[in-house]
Amino acid sequence: MKSKIKLFNNAIFKSTLKLNMWVPILYFVLLFLMMLMPMMAQNTLTKYDGYNYLKMIKNIINLSNGELNVLVLLIIPVILGVVVTRFMQNKLQNIHIHSMPIEKKQIYTTNVIAGFILLIIPIIINIFGMLLILGPDVFNQCGNEIASWAYITFSLGILIFSVTIMVGTLSGSSLMQTIFTYILLVFPVGIYMLIQYTLKIFIIGYAFKESTLDSSIATKLSILPQTFMVVSTDLREKNMTENLYLIYILAAIAIIIMSFFIYKARKVEKTGDIVVFRKLNPILKYGITFCFMIAIGLMVYFIFDESITHMFVAYGVTSFVAYFLAEMLIRKSVRVIDSYKGYLGYVVVMLIIFAGIKMDITGFEKRVPNISDISKVNYNLTTNYGDEVSLITQANKEAVLDIHKLILSEKDQSSTSHKEYFNTNYNYNYNIEYILKDGRKMSRQYVEWKLVKQESRDNIVKIENIERTIFKTEEYKKQAYEVFKEENIKWIGIIIDGEERLYINRKEEIKEFIELMRMDTLLMTYEQKVKDDRQENEEYEKNMKEAKTINSAGEVVAREANQNQEIRIEKHVEQEQDYERSTTLYYNEDFKNTKKWIIDHNY
């Protein structure tokens, strides 16, 4: 009993609740406006009007107005964490509470418990409000959705609250606590993306796939993007399956415990400092300098037509300004010129790092696996960029390896100034991922520019010839084209010149039509695909260049329609819960069997 009393102080508990009760009141009002009020409106408007009342209620619970819910979830726990730790940041409160005969662990645990209660009270009241508004029957039918909402809201809320508490123990200012909290919530994915994009610029072949960002560890460690992801049902369910929210709750508990030891080591007189531990000052200073340098450098790089020169100028200016501003914040003084040696040391380290990257001291750019070590290769043909296929036949693996070696032979040429030698309107993208027999992966991404000078295009012509041999294989086509996927097709629509002319829903006709398309796809040559792509690009450029003419009445006059009929084929696949997925199937003017079938059916 004695140890329990030492961890809790009733007077502090009541005082914290009384002073900060406005936060849960605000939280509940916002939840009422976002969830309970729309439910009341649905009760009044749609319950007896023949609409799918239950579905609409579930949409409200599943964050149909998700953006507002996300903002509330990101703001309220931070506010609560800041006001609960206000006694650390306010000089008078700090002196008063620490002058009382109360141990630090009592002060800390009591305030944290009070903050935790203030955080969950609105969630509990909101659940009871749902019960009163919906009634027991509808409430039970929405039980899974309500439990999921409460679980996710609680886990993210308690984690953000705990992070705010931890930052509060490290900082001596409520303003800086708030700023540092939001920076920390996005820091893992933010610094990950900055470094990845920078390496992609400076290292030839460095692979960074933006499509994998959502599933990366950096994103899972970043609470701010994860909070925004709750509006997506698929991502929410994926995170539930991976027990990510349970991990967040456990992480919050660990952070709260760790924060106690930080608070215990914190000196009372450090109130008002940006960071209360002097040993953290270099981390803060150089961290601010590096992050601002990389971020502004990337912005300048893309703004000024991917200019490396402008990027390095931005690096120099931004790092100089960021370093001395950080020094001013830490010292709380403008007299920081004497710290120039630290900046010079930073510059030297950065120069060494960039020199090492330029010299390729790790051999990354020249590294090519042995054919005997390759299990399979994931590759994008330039004619079908975006359709990645896995190649396992020996001939195709050797072909991709030959392409890789040809690209590397153009390394010096490819890094030449785009403006001087290249036409930047067109480029080839190469994505290569080797899956080695020992389970390791080796990924490379390249952009080869089409050179203006014909003699400089020899390697690209050689690559096209190699790709021609890959393209004609069944292994490639059966993976690259949607028509080969075995799915439960509900119906097929054929759209001619933007108007749906043919609707195929009989199983035998669907089967016959798909088989003909598969046959034509297998017969399609590389030249036919390239010709189709060229025609599509030319038509697109023509449409972009042609301005719409306006007559005297101000009406838009349409251009003369293209004489060739545009044919688009869509398959509609039946999904769960009465949902249809529509996918466009590739069609080429040289698909003779498919075209004949359409003509035979008088379309």
The model's pLDDT over 202-212, given as tens digits with 9 standing for 90+, comes to: 998 898 877 67
Report the predicted TM-score, pTM, of the whole model to 2 decimal places: 0.80
Helical (H) or strand (E) element with 414:
helix 411-414
Please choose, from the candidates 69, 281, 253, the residue with its C-alpha nearest in 3D space to the C-alpha of residue 165.
253
Q: How far apart are CA 33 and CA 174, in angstroms?
A: 29
Structure tokens at 150: 């409460």
Question: Do you know the residue count of the chain?
Answer: 603
Please choose, from the candidates 422, 433, 506, the residue with its C-alpha nearest in 3D space to the C-alpha of residue 460.
422
pLDDT at 425: 43
Q: Are 182 and 423 in contact (CB under 8 A)?
A: no
Q: How far apart are CA 243 and CA 426, in angstroms?
A: 45
Q: For residue range 448-488, list pLDDT tens digits in order.
A: 654 444 444 677 788 889 989 999 999 999 998 989 988 87
| Interacting residues of 105 by C-beta distance below 8 A, sequence separation 6+ | 6, 7, 260, 264
Distances (CA, A) of 91 to 173, 174, 176, 268, 373: 10, 11, 15, 9, 65
Distances (CA, A) of 349 to 268, 310, 344: 36, 20, 9
Query: What's the burial of 57, exposed, middle or buried (CB within 10 Å: 0-12/13-18/19+)?
Result: buried
Q: How far apart are CA 21 and CA 402, in angstroms?
A: 69
pLDDT at 115: 94
Structure tokens at 263: 């608070």
DSSP secondary structure letter of residue 556: E
Structure tokens at 44: 């009044």
Structure tokens at 376: 């399979």
441-451 and 489-496 strand pairing: unpaired
| 3-state secondary structure (DSSP) of residue 402 | helix
Q: How far apart are CA 221 and CA 200, in angstroms?
A: 22
Collect the ranges in the chain with pLDDT lower than 50: 1-4, 50, 413-426, 450-456, 547-563
Rounded to the nearest 5 degrees, what angle is found at the Cα of 341, between the Cα atoms of 340 and 346?
95
Amino acid at 151: Y
| Interacting residues of 95 by C-beta distance below 8 A, sequence separation 6+ | 268
Q: Are 319 and 293 in contact (CB under 8 A)?
A: yes
- The structural domains of the chain, with segments of one domain joined by +, span 2-188+211-270, 288-358, 371-472, 482-542+562-600
Q: Are 343 and 351 in contact (CB under 8 A)?
A: no
| Interacting residues of 69 by C-beta distance below 8 A, sequence separation 6+ | 34, 63, 230, 231
Amino acid at 181: T
Phi then psi dihedrals of residue 431, to 5 deg = -115, 120
Helices (H), 173-307: 174-202, 217-221, 223-228, 233-241, 244-265, 281-303
Q: For residue range 536-588, list pLDDT tens digits in order.
A: 766 656 665 654 444 444 444 434 444 455 677 888 887 665 566 788 888 88
Q: How far apart are CA 240 and CA 233, in angstroms?
A: 10
pLDDT at 186: 92
Q: Are 491 and 505 in contact (CB under 8 A)?
A: yes
Q: How far apart are CA 516 and CA 429, in angstroms?
A: 31
Q: How far apart are CA 103 and CA 133, in angstroms?
A: 46
pLDDT at 48: 56
Tally of CB atoms within 10 A around 74: 19
Structure tokens at 362: 């790790």
Q: How far apart are CA 113 and CA 463, in angstroms?
A: 65
Strand partners for 502 = 494
HSE, side-chain direction, 13 A CA sphere, residue 471: 20
Q: Write the DSSP assignment of 530-554 as a string of letters.
A: HHHHHHHHHHHHHHHHSPPEE-TTS
DSSP secondary structure letter of residue 588: -
pLDDT at 98: 77
Give me the sign of the Cα torsion angle 311, 313, 317, 320: positive
| 3-state secondary structure (DSSP) of residue 61 | helix
Q: How far apart are CA 414 and CA 406, in angstroms?
A: 12
pLDDT at 455: 43
